[in-house]
């Protein structure tokens, strides 16, 4: 199956990338050695964000940062790269910009507010958080640079704010489109 990362941001809610759950009919969240059933309640292929409802999840939510990261700020990337064990990798904010690209299906033009970070980001880190030095969430990891093994891209907290807000209250399962290329 498809695997990626995510994090608890509200009671019984996990945020991840839409491309992690795209085309799925069943979603589970692995916590320690247990897999908990989850339901996709928010799916935004333009922003590349999904919110999962996990009723049996009892975990302390991470808090979003009150301040934007700036060039040179230390940070860490958390996740489960390459279907492996939990990983904490050092990162440093390079820049925060609005960039243009396509949605997760390679269609249309989407403008997203993202951080570029100096960090090793690998397949499976998608959906994991970028944490500031104080442990607060700066954003959600979603890509690595094709031309640099130590550059990653992170959707900023302000970019994902509408989806995470909608996901807090959402309780109805939503479709996840079709699988993404690659």
Number of C-beta neighbours around residue 72 at 10 A: 9
N-terminal to C-terminal alpha carbon distance within the chain: 14
Average pLDDT across the chain, whole number? 93
Q: So what's the pLDDT on residue 181?
A: 62
Confidence label for 160 from pLDDT (cuts 50, 70 and 90):
very high
Q: So what's the pLDDT on residue 177?
A: 81
- Show the domains of the chain with their CATH numbers: 7-61+163-169 (2.40.10.10), 74-159 (2.40.10.10)
CA atoms within 13 A on the CB side of 140: 30
Confidence label for 55 from pLDDT (cuts 50, 70 and 90):
very high
Model confidence at 182: pLDDT above 60: no
Q: So what's the pLDDT on residue 31?
A: 87
Tens of pLDDT, residue by residue over 34-45, are 999 999 999 999
* Catalytic machinery residues: 19, 48, 126
Q: Are 71 and 92 in contact (CB under 8 A)?
A: no
The answer for 181, left when phi > 0, alpha when psi is -120 to 50, beta otherwise, is: beta
Tens of pLDDT, residue by residue over 4-51, are 999 999 999 999 999 999 999 899 999 888 999 999 999 999 999 999
Tens of pLDDT, residue by residue over 56-114, are 999 999 999 999 999 999 999 999 988 888 999 999 999 999 999 999 999 999 999 99
Report the distance separating Cα 133 and Cα 94, nearest Å.
15
Whole-model pTM: value is 0.94
Q: What is the DSSP string of 11-77?
A: TTEEEE-HHHHTT-S-EEEEETTEEEEEEEEEEETTTTEEEEE-TT---PPP-B-SS---TT-EEEE
Report the distance separating Cα 54 and Cα 45, nearest Å.
21
Q: Residue 22: what are its φ and ψ, rounded to 5°?
A: -55, 130
Q: Which helix (DSSP H) or strand (DSSP E) does residue 89 occupy? A: strand 87-101
Q: So what's the pLDDT on residue 85?
A: 87
């Amino acid at each position: 199956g498809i695997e990626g990362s995510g994090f608890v941001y509200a009671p019984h809610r996990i945020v991840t990338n839409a491309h992690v759950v795209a085309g799925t009919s069943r979603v589970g969240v692995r916590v320690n050695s247990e897999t908990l059933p989850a339901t996709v309640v928010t799916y935004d292929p333009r922003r590349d964000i999904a919110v999962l409802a996990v009723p049996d999840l009892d975990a302390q939510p991470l808090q979003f940062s009150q301040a934007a990261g700036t060039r040179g700020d230390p940070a860490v990337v958390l996740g489960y790269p390459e279907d492996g064990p939990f990983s904490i990798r050092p990162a440093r904010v390079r820049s925060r910009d609005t960039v243009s690209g396509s949605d997760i299906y390679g269609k249309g033009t989407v403008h997203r507010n993202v951080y570029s970070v100096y960090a090793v980001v690998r397949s499976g880190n998608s959906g994991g958080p970028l944490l500031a030095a104080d442990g607060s969430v700066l954003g959600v990891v979603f890509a690595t640079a094709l031309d640099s093994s130590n550059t990653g891209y992170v959707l900023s907290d302000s970019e994902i704010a509408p989806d995470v807000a909608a996901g807090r209250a959402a309780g109805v399962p939503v479709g996840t489109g079709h699988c993404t290329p690659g």
